[in-house]
A and B are shown apart, each in its own frame.
Chain A
Amino acid sequence: MKQVIEGNQAVAIGAKLCRPKVIASYPITPSTHIPELISEFVANGELDAEFINVESEHSAISACLGAQATGVRTFTATGSQGLALMHEILYVAAGMRLPIVISVANRSLSAPLNIWGDNCDTMAERDSGWLQFHSERNQDALDLVIQAYKIAENKEVLLPAMVTIDAYSLTHTYEIVDVPSQEEVDAFLPGYKPLHACLDPENPITQGACAMPEDYMEFKYAQQKAMQTAEKVVDDVFEEFENKFGRKYRKIEPYRTDDAEIILLTMGSMTGTAREAVDKLRERGTKVGLAKITVFRPFPKKELITVTKGANLLAVIDRNISLGLGGATFADVSSAYINAADRPLILNTILGLGGRDPTVENFCEIVDRSKEVMKTGKVERPVEWINVRKEDVT
């Protein structure tokens, strides 16, 4: 059924449809509506689950971890400082191979304090062993939560997953969302059957115990293998979802890339604006296309190289900054091409930090700069910040 809902509602409804048994959450702007709504679902009987009010995000994810380790599906929502506070336990959950799913409202990190959008928070967790799915629209948020459970719980994967929505531009923005019925979701995502981690007095186990130098590395290798297996599982689940629900998801989604000389690489809600810029520039005869990253972990190397085949320049746009280097996506993208026979020139643009809205003009500016670079074939400044008052920083 089609409903007009905000991104936070889409996540809350998506999570409810997956029937988690335990939700432990601590409110943080701009993701607070999610636990609020889920607590209402639990209170009014729409969702048969235990809702735990905790005193911090560290506790929220710890409670999810403990509950998931007993053998039930769990969920929590956070963002920004909240995700940063979860950092320690994110690694523990991944190492214990607990397929917890959380949603992250992408919000900038302090200081200075800022409650608006960028994805520095999620990027800081890219090495934690969690699968990462990024939403462009509210529909994606709902659909990706459902698919994330299915991928995370796959017995060849067993990794936790985060689904992101951008602060305000999705969390608090109302859009039309096609909400599937409970029966449809039940048919797609059966109840969680713990295969390796559950509480059973008949078969006591220790989970996440100490591993000495003789064994630790094998556990990390096993996680890496699971990430590699997830590459295939993501494709399979996306395909099954498309067959059942008619909505197609791809790790990297191309737009007008076929004959494109310049390709913009985007993530999250800025993609809609970038698409508009592409259409505008195409009208003027510029051969520009766009590729959107939906799956950031496992990093879709193969798909990226395929999508950009034939392009002269790839303009990577980051709403985050790995200080001392450049954008986080840029770093990963560059490494993807390191041994590729054919590779485009790669430029990085940093924009939209702390909720500064990316505009159509910003993307046109990036394309203008790309054209200049293509003339000489030389990248003098790989990383450029735009829409920033450089003159005010002395």
Chain B
Amino acid sequence: MKNPFSHEVKIVGKITVGARITQPGNSMEYKTGSWRSYKPIIDKEKCKKCGICVTYCPDASIKRTEDIPVIDYDYCKGCGICAIECPSHAIIMKPEV
């Protein structure tokens, strides 16, 4: 099927009419980590590997692993939700300098 969005409407440079995004998944290109003023750090000793922080992270920036979860600092905005939700108080928010 012909893509109905790629034709007829004038596009100014790379700007789509109405700020449409026509390819899925390109939010990966926007690295939002630079917005962060506090950095979450997981304390390996305290972490129980329950995965609650993975579920709560609104930016899907925490990945579950075999071991303790891993935070992707390219996208973590430093909101601190993971630190609040962690039942083991294993995440501290360290000021970025």
Please list the residues of chain A having a beta carbon within 8 angstroms of any beta carbon in chain B.
95-98, 155-156, 158, 194-198, 200, 202-212, 215, 218-219, 221-222, 225
Residues of B within 8 A of A219 (CB): 15, 19
User: 9 extra interchain contacts, Cβ-Cβ under 8 A, other than A196-B16, A196-B20, A218-B15?
Assistant: A197-B20, A202-B1, A203-B3, A207-B20, A207-B21, A208-B18, A209-B20, A212-B30, A219-B19
A205 touches B19 (CB 8 A): no
Can you name the residue of chain A whose Cβ is closest to the Cβ of B10? A156
Residues of A within 8 A of B95 (CB): none
Q: Which of B1-35 contact A (CB under 8 A)?
A: 1, 3-5, 8-10, 12-13, 15-22, 24, 30
Q: How far is the CA of A200 from the CA of B8 in the complex (A)?
A: 17
A97 touches B17 (CB 8 A): yes
Q: A158-B9, A205-B5 in contact; A196/B19 too (CB < 8 A)?
A: no
B16 touches A218 (CB 8 A): no
Q: How far is the CA of A203 from the CA of B16 in the complex (A)?
A: 15
Can you name the residue of chain B whose Cβ is closest to the Cβ of A94? B18
Minimal beta-carbon separation of B52 from chain A (angstroms): 27
Residues of A within 8 A of B21 (CB): 205-207, 209
Can you name the residue of chain A whose Cβ is closest to the Cβ of B2? A203
Q: How far is the CA of A225 from the CA of B10 in the complex (A)?
A: 11
B19 touches A203 (CB 8 A): no
Q: How far is the CA of A314 from the CA of B25 in the complex (A)?
A: 56
Please list the residues of chain B having a beta carbon within 8 angstroms of any beta carbon in chain A.
1, 3-5, 8-10, 12-13, 15-22, 24, 30
CB within 8 A of A207: which of B9, B10, B18?
Answer: B18
Counting from the closest, the 5 A-B pairs by CB-CB distance are A97-B18, A206-B21, A96-B18, A196-B9, A218-B15
Per DSSP, are chain B's interface residues mostly helix, strand or loop, or mixed?
A: loop
Q: How far is the CA of A215 from the CA of B19 in the complex (A)?
A: 10
Minimal beta-carbon separation of A31 from chain B (angstroms): 28
Residues of B within 8 A of A202 (CB): 1
Can you name the residue of chain B whose Cβ is closest to the Cβ of A206? B21
Residues of A within 8 A of B1 (CB): 202-203
Q: How far is the CA of A97 from the CA of B11 in the complex (A)?
A: 13
B17 touches A205 (CB 8 A): no
CB within 8 A of B19: which of A198, A200, A207?
Answer: A207
Can you name the residue of chain B whose Cβ is closest to the Cβ of A71? B4
Can you pick out 17 interface pairs between chain A and chain B where the beta carbons lie within 8 Å of each other?
A95-B18, A97-B18, A158-B17, A158-B18, A196-B9, A196-B16, A196-B18, A200-B4, A203-B22, A205-B21, A205-B22, A207-B21, A208-B18, A212-B30, A219-B15, A219-B19, A222-B12
Can you name the residue of chain B whose Cβ is closest to the Cβ of A158? B17
Minimal beta-carbon separation of B33 from chain A (angstroms): 13
Residues of B within 8 A of A197 (CB): 18, 20
Q: How far is the CA of A200 from the CA of B10 in the complex (A)?
A: 20
Q: A155-B10, A218-B13, A222-B12 in contact; A96/B3 too (CB < 8 A)?
A: no
B9 touches A218 (CB 8 A): no
Residues of B within 8 A of A95 (CB): 18-19
Q: How far is the CA of A97 from the CA of B1 in the complex (A)?
A: 24
CB within 8 A of A195: which of B9, B19, B22, B30?
Answer: B9
A196 touches B5 (CB 8 A): yes
Q: How far is the CA of A204 from the CA of B15 in the complex (A)?
A: 18
A96 touches B4 (CB 8 A): no
* A97, A155, A197, A222: residue with the most chain B Cβ atoms closer than 10 Å: A222
Minimal beta-carbon separation of B11 from chain A (angstroms): 9
Residues of B within 8 A of A204 (CB): 24
Residues of A within 8 A of B5 (CB): 196, 203, 205
A198 touches B4 (CB 8 A): yes
Residues of B within 8 A of A158 (CB): 9, 17-18
Residues of B within 8 A of A200 (CB): 4
Residues of A within 8 A of B9 (CB): 155, 158, 195-196
Minimal beta-carbon separation of A280 from chain B (angstroms): 50
Residues of B within 8 A of A212 (CB): 30
Residues of A within 8 A of B3 (CB): 203
